[in-house]
Amino acid sequence: MAGDIQHSALPDSLLHEPKGASTASAGEVYVADGNASGSFMMLPLSNVAFSRTLVTDLTPSTITGTVSLNGSALTHPADGILLDVPVVAGIPQTITNKINENASELYRLYNNQATINTELTNAIHSLEAKLNVVIDALQAAGVVEQ
């Protein structure tokens, strides 16, 4: 008899939508109340569980061909102008040459530091842009309040 068929044994073509589906709004889901019933509603954020991180780690780029210089102790930052120390009577030429070599090397280090600072600034801007995309996506999903 047709009345003896269990609901769980019915084929999909004979099953109906859950109670309340015809009046539920778009985006609502059925939420059980724990008392063998429930209703359609927007899923409360407190009911959402995240089991893993969905944001991939940012891989920082490697800065090559530069030498780091800590310029915090410099009293006068390099201004892009480098002049040789002139020969002074009484100071051996070898010392004057060493001073000029060292000044040249320091200027090269300063330029390398400027390159490092530019690369770091670009990497920070890139990271900031990626974080903004992630935050926008989380806000659109309703996970983070605007």
Question: pLDDT 10s digit of each residue in the chain, 146 long?
Answer: 556 778 778 787 877 777 788 888 888 888 888 888 888 888 877 777 665 555 555 566 666 666 655 555 555 555 555 566 666 777 788 887 788 788 888 888 888 888 888 888 888 888 888 888 888 888 777 776 66
Residue 43 Cα to chain centre, angstroms:
28
Exposure b/e, 56-72, CB count within 10 A at least 16 = b: eeeeeeeeeeeeebeee
DSSP assignment, residue 65?
A: S
Residue 23: strand, helix, or coil: coil
Q: Residue 10 corresponds to which tokens in the numbers above?
A: 């019915």
Asked if 43 and 31 touch (Cβ cutoff 8 Å), the reply is yes
Stated pTM of the model: 0.39
Q: How far, in Å, CA of 144 to CA of 133, rounded?
A: 13
pLDDT score for 68: 55
pLDDT score for 80: 54
Residue 116: strand, helix, or coil: helix
pLDDT score for 131: 87
